[in-house]
């Protein structure tokens, strides 16, 4: 199965786009891939001489995978991806297990747990290409038009 480009699904763009491609999708989840490139600007300061990928960016990559999943689901149901943009409503139980270095390829997996009142609760995980667990996170997403956002 082929998937549309990530940029057709979520509003994120380089340098703040952290998914290279969608690998697969099920009715309740999605698998995506990302290779972290040594030339990415944040590595110059995190940490100089021994760069690692910031944990907050790893979480953001999972959240972007969730946005792709929800957008694909909305398209499959015959509608647009949603009004506005995917916004994180809650983050809980983040567990970092291994660092990610420049050049590492990761697999991002998101799974829906529940949906209630316009919010979708999900679980996300990252593994390195060799299967090493990197992180787990539980979170909620809502499609919203942010206050103060210019009209489309």
Residues 113 and 132: their CA atoms lie apart, in Å, by 23
Length of the chain: 152
| Residue 27 domain flag | yes
Is the CB of residue 134 less than 8 Å from the CB of residue 98?
yes
| Residue 1 domain flag | no
Beta strands in 2-147 (DSSP E): 21-26, 29-35, 85-96, 105-116, 119-128, 133-144
CATH, residue 51: 3.10.129.10
| Residue 87 domain flag | yes
Q: Among the residues of the chain, which ranges form H helices?
A: 55-76
Expressed as residue numbers, the domain containing 63 is 6-144
Domain count, the chain: 1
From the list 11, 20, 46, 96, the catalytic residue is: 46
| Residue 150 domain flag | no
Q: In the annotation, is 46 catalytic?
A: yes
First to last CA, the chain: 31
List per-residue pLDDT tens for the chain, 152 residues long. Answer: 799 999 999 999 999 999 999 999 999 999 999 999 999 999 999 999 999 999 999 999 999 999 999 999 988 888 765 457 889 999 999 999 999 999 999 999 999 999 999 899 999 999 999 999 999 999 999 977 766 656 55
| Residue 108 domain flag | yes
Which residue has tokens 């567990």?
95
| Residue 149 domain flag | no
| Residue 98 domain flag | yes
Residues 88 and 60: their CA atoms lie apart, in Å, by 10
- 57 CA to centre of own chain: 9
| Residue 60 domain flag | yes
């Amino acid at each position: 199965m082929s998937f549309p480009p990530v940029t057709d699904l979520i509003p994120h763009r380089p340098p703040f786009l952290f998914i290279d491609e969608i690998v697969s999708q099920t009715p309740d989840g999605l698998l995506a891939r990302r290779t972290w490139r040594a030339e990415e600007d944040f590595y110059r300061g995190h940490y100089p001489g021994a760069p690692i990928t910031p944990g907050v960016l790893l979480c953001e990559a999972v959240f972007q995978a969730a946005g792709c999943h929800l957008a694909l689901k909305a398209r499959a149901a015959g509608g647009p991806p949603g009004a506005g943009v995917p916004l994180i409503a809650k983050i809980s139980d983040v567990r970092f297990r291994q660092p990610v270095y420049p050049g590492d390829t990761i697999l991002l997996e998101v799974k829906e747990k529940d949906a209630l009142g316009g919010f979708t609760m999900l679980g996300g995980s990252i593994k390195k290409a060799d299967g090493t667990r990197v992180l787990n996170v539980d979170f909620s997403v809502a499609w919203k038009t942010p206050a103060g956002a210019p009209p489309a």
